Amino acid sequence: MVWISKLFDIYVRYNIHVGLAVFALAQITALDFDLSLRFSHQLILFITPFLAYNFIKFHRFLWERIGRKIKGLLFLMGFTTFSLFLIKGIGLQLPVSSRIILFLTLLLVLLYCLPLPGFTLNFRGFKGLKIHLVTLSWVMITVFLSLSMGGQNTSEFSLVYAFQRYLFVLVATLPFEIRDLKSDDPHLSTWPQKLGVSNTQWLGGLLLLLFVFLEIYYAVSSNIFLVLGIATLLMGFVLKSKAEQSKYFCSFWVEGIPILWLILKYITI
């Protein structure tokens, strides 16, 4: 059974799980807007977040330890190389608008990690910006890129939908912010650093209430009870969040909520 544990650790550590979570939200968008996405386009919706998160997680480690033995990264390097070639080939088949959105998303990832010209800080280092950068990148992929691939024009409803998705991802990021409370640089000015854990949880609850209000007012999806259930589940995780968490509380259980959402959505269609 040890090998199962190791495979699971690879699955989580190398961001396959988070790639599937982003993919799940993109598929939810496709279902809500009745989009028909090509298989190659769906591959991009998984590969893009997979590459982005692994670059964010390992870029400094790889650059600082070049020439040393890097145990455990052979799988990542091989899969990433394959993914880069694949996304390059598929990207040429995308509509122009999709390529622009994809480029802006990847640019956002680079600026999140690397210092701006003339600055010693990257985007992540600016006060209060970290959580919004993560949320914006998810929305760009799971809403705007999906709509563009499906040939859907931006409308008032799609903008409301994107804002609702922004609220969901923002709240889903809070358990990670609480987890990183002790390790984050104080200058990042994250919500738990500024407001404390309890107030951050209350704010997350208010944002989820707005998320649910938009669902009810605009009838965003076809199953309001499923959305209410997912919002309740997410709120439960936010309330249980603390600085000292189990290893997989955020990286598997919280990130697994979109996957569960998609599964239940397929079941209830």
Backbone CA torsion sign across 147, 150, 153, 158? negative
How far is residue 183's CA from residue 3's CA, in Å, rounded to a whole number? Answer: 30
pLDDT at position 138, please? 93
Q: Which pLDDT belongs to residue 269? A: 73
Helix (H) or strand (E) segment spanning residue 245: none
Q: How would you classify residue 95: left for phi > 0, otherwise alpha for psi between -120 and 50, otherwise beta?
A: beta
Q: Output the CA angle 197-200-203, nearest 5 degrees.
A: 155
Q: Determine the pLDDT at residue 82.
A: 52
| pLDDT of 68 | 46
Tokens of 90: 């598929």
Give pLDDT < 70 ranges for the chain.
Answer: 1, 58-92, 110, 113-128, 222
